[in-house]
Structure 1
Amino acid sequence: MKKTLYIMRHGQTMFNQLKRMQGWCDSPLTKYGIAQAKIAGEWFKNKKIDFKHGYCSTSERTSDTLENVVPKIPYHRLKGIKEQSFGKFEAQPEFLNPPSPYGDFFKYAGGETDTELKNRVVKTISDIAANDAEKQILIVTHGIVIAQFIRSQIKEGQTFPRFTNCSIIVFEYENEKFNFKEIINHDYSKIDHLAE
């Protein structure tokens, strides 16, 4: 059976706003982030895409996003799609980030390597796709998680469009294979007044 996975990044958080590194540590959604999630929810509604349940990481920023995208559906929180651990760099200013890809930079600070992150993310999303009986699957997760998953599925050297908070990354899944389809970046101009 062919399935479609809608993999979303969470809405803007306080740490996004403050330009702080946010891996396993957490911070709340801003008013702007909540509004972003509601706009993503409208996109699904307009496309008549219904979900019986959803998946998100164990971070509150993803569960809060999911609850604003599709209110009142049950969901599963999974550690396997949690953001990369930055170790001692958690909550530090973003300018301390090395150039991407990070390789094993964060391992020396008690965090995860890119390979460790990619392996757990690919396994978790593959398990969801294989075992969920629904044709439409919603997953709310994190920016680096999504980037690593896309890189694992596209051809070497192939680039993918930029995505932002609450972008929707669409994959088809059939015969144990993923096929990257598109990235939906929303128009947030009508909520500009909420950005701080």
Structure 2
Amino acid sequence: MKTLYLMRHGQTLFNKLGKVQGACDSPLTAKGIADAKAAGEFLREHDYHFDQCFSSTQERASDTLELVTDQPYQRLKGIKEWDFGLFEGENETLLPKTYYTEKSYDDFFVQFGGESATDFQDRVVKAFTEVMTEIPDGQKVLMVSHGAVMFRFLKALIPMAEIIENVSFHNCAILKLTFDGKKFTFIEQVR
């Protein structure tokens, strides 16, 4: 059995301003930096150790990981955030109110040069599966990624009602999952 700890990046300027942030990037705020350091301290205090670490290729994720631990890590394109096309950098109030529904945004962003929900979810699930398949049995992995990545990954594993009831995707949230070589199992929200 292998263990995956999946973490969201710290608060960014666009998070603070309520801007759509998928393929585009913005820097961590002072709060984002402080929260990432606090998450690292939480992990150390609770004796979490990681054999390998990974990050999205986006700066907000890699910066968060570097604040959480000084371990070497690999950056992965497959776990970067959803591409929202022309909505990148726009106010979040312009987005459809369908995010926490069974279809989520479906194909909405395709007409604006972004990714469909299905393509995005397939990319994310494939990336996590490929990495965890290569990890030796018994190892613990930390991956820092994004809110929609975490949401769509869990959506592929558990019912929507369970996600809404049991999971928060706040900045620096940490989820624990296991991988038996064939399937992922969501265990708990650690932080």
- Is the pair's TM-score, using the shorter chain for normalization, greater than 0.5? yes
Per-residue CA deviations over 1:81-124 (Å, capped at 9, x if unaligned) read 01000111100001011121101110000000000100000000
The CA distance in 1 between the partners of 2:146 and 2:92, in whole Å, is 16
Q: Does 21-30 or 134-143 show the bigger shift?
A: 134-143
CA RMSD of aligned residues (A): 1.3
The CA distance in 1 between the partners of 2:21 and 2:35, in whole Å, is 19
Shift of 1:157: 4.5
> Does the Cα contact within 8 Å between 1:163 and 1:183 map onto a contact in 2?
no
Does the C-alpha gap of structure 1 residues 166 and 87 become closer, same or farther in structure 2, counting only changes over 3 Å? same
> TM-score with structure 1 length normalisation?
0.89
Q: State the match for 1:108 in structure 2.
A: 111
Does the C-alpha gap of structure 1 residues 52 and 135 become closer, same or farther in structure 2, counting only changes over 3 Å? closer
Shift of 1:155: 3.7
Q: Does 48-57 or 14-23 show the bigger shift?
A: 48-57
Q: State the match for 2:127 in structure 1.
A: 124
SS in structure 1 opposite 2:156?
A: helix
> TM-score with structure 2 length normalisation?
0.92
Q: State the match for 1:46 in structure 2.
A: 45
Shift of 1:156: 6.0
Shift of 1:79: 0.9
Shift of 1:58: 0.8
Runs of 4+ in 1 over 4 A off after TM superposition: none
**Are 1:161 and 2:167 counterparts?**
yes
Q: Structure 1 counterpart of 2:117, which letter?
A: D
SS in structure 2 opposite 1:153?
A: coil
Q: State the match for 2:63 in structure 1.
A: 64
Q: Does 167-176 or 117-126 show the bigger shift?
A: 167-176
> Does the Cα contact within 8 Å between 1:81 and 1:141 map onto a contact in 2?
yes
For structure 1, the residue ranges without an aligned partner over 5 or more in a row are 186-196
The CA distance in 2 between the partners of 1:138 and 1:86, in whole Å, is 26
Aligned residues: 183
The CA distance in 1 between the partners of 2:162 and 2:171, in whole Å, is 22
For structure 2, the residue ranges without an aligned partner over 5 or more in a row are none
Shift of 1:158: 3.1
The CA distance in 1 between the partners of 2:142 and 2:167, in whole Å, is 20
> Does the Cα contact within 8 Å between 1:11 and 1:36 map onto a contact in 2?
yes
> Does the Cα contact within 8 Å between 2:176 and 2:188 map onto a contact in 1?
yes
Q: State the match for 1:81 in structure 2.
A: 79
Within the candidate set 119, 128, 148, 2:152 is matched to: 148
Shift of 1:53: 3.1
Per-residue CA deviations over 1:108-164 (Å, capped at 9, x if unaligned) read 000000001000000000111110226110000000000000010114643332230
Does the C-alpha gap of structure 1 residues 157 and 167 become closer, same or farther in structure 2, counting only changes over 3 Å? closer
The CA distance in 1 between the partners of 2:182 and 2:31, in whole Å, is 37
The CA distance in 2 between the partners of 1:40 and 1:158, in whole Å, is 24
Within the candidate set 135, 139, 145, 2:139 is matched to: 135
